[in-house]
Amino acid sequence: MKFLVIVLSALLACGSAEVDSRFPGLRTEKPILDGRIVGGSTTTIASYPYQCLPCSTMKFLVIVLSALLACGSAEVDSRFPGLRTEKPILDGRIVGGSTTTIASYPYQLSLRYGGSHICGASIISANWALSAAHCIVGSASTLTLRAGSTYSNSGGTIHQVSQATRHASYSSSTLDYDIAVLRVSSAFSLGSNIQVVSMETGTVAAGTNAVVSGWGTTSEGGSASTTLRQVTVPVVSDSSCSSSYAAYGGITARMICAGYTSGGRDACQGDSGGPLVANGRLIGVVSWGVGCARAGFPGVYAKVSNLRSWVSTQTGV
């Protein structure tokens, strides 16, 4: 991530002054000449390797890198505090768990951006999937879902996303209301490896065992796994979890926590947006946390029961 910040800094230094109104601190006060040459002749970059890219290309790269930063570590770079979330995002690694198959978790989906796995998601009907709001990057046309496969990079069926809707109250700084629904252009063909998961509507008691599944690295800072993994973690009381994250403002009523006080087992990078299931019902959506499986910091999930009415309004499910 720090490499991307350095690259982004270099690109911004070469680009247009009007980069994006969302990042006023990353533009110059005076307009930069955009370098159009009147007269003269064409040439190649080999003759002028120090030449910066055109402004239109620059703006595209800035948008892409901004999206990458949004999906990455919260510890981006202290020089750019405006380009990080206030709360560290879990990116989907399953730590301390084991490999499994899609037959055991047939509701599990791989959310893909530009053909690459970026997050998890869950099937909630033949036409709809549920994921985290912070996983929604780009437009719906750039997103697909892989269903029915144990592997994030092969098998199963690919479904184009036709509509992606974040909760209107989602906050990228607090990660409150971190939930989104995705409609697919072609319905999921339900079967043994592709099934709907029911959503929790009631209260889940602290200590209840839940299972989180997904693809990602198996250790903090490790390499990603392309094989589906799972781990069992106990639900943590709201008061205990809020105390653990007091330095981050605690948790809200739209969050639920699960994990061990001693650490060792958790969701982490690559699993954002993925399912937390207890007693056969979806109770949480992987959202954020400090590191991966660190002692004293349980994983934090969007609380499905307290967001259930919004999901129903958006999808009819």
Q: How much is the pLDDT for 289?
A: 83
Please, which pLDDT band fits residue 215 given cuts at 50, 70 and 90?
confident
pLDDT at position 94 is: 59
The pLDDT of residue 120 is 95
CA distance 241 to 261: 10
Tell me what the mean pLDDT of segment 252-278 comes to. Answer: 80
Among 115, 195, 214, residue whose Cα is nearest residue 148: 195
Q: Do residues 157 and 118 make contact, with C-beta atoms less than 8 angstroms apart? A: no
Q: Work out the number of other CB atoms within 10 angstroms of the CB of residue 208.
A: 13
- pLDDT of 193 higher than 60: yes
The pLDDT, as a whole number, for residue 261 is 76
CA 186 – CA 161 distance, rounded (Å): 9
User: What is the amino acid identity at position 102?
Assistant: I
Does 160 have pLDDT greater than 60? Answer: yes
72 token code pair:
């990455």
* Mean of all residue pLDDT scores within the chain: 76
Mean pLDDT of 109-124: 96
Percent of the chain with pLDDT over 90: 55
Question: Angle 2-14/55-71 helices, nearest 10 degrees?
Answer: 160
Which token pair is 298? Answer: 């349980």
Which residues touch 182 (CB under 8 Å, ≥6 apart)? 111, 121, 128, 129, 130, 131, 136, 140, 143, 145, 161, 163, 164, 165
pLDDT-derived band of residue 93, with 50, 70 and 90 as boundaries? very low
* pLDDT score recorded for residue 166: 98
Reported pTM: 0.71
How many other C-beta atoms are found inside a 10 Å radius of the C-beta of residue 246?
Answer: 9
Q: Which of 84-93, 212-221, 302-311 has the lowest mean pLDDT?
A: 84-93
Instruction: Between 64 and 309, name the one with better pLDDT.
Output: 309
DSSP 247: G
The catalytic residue positions are: 134, 178, 272
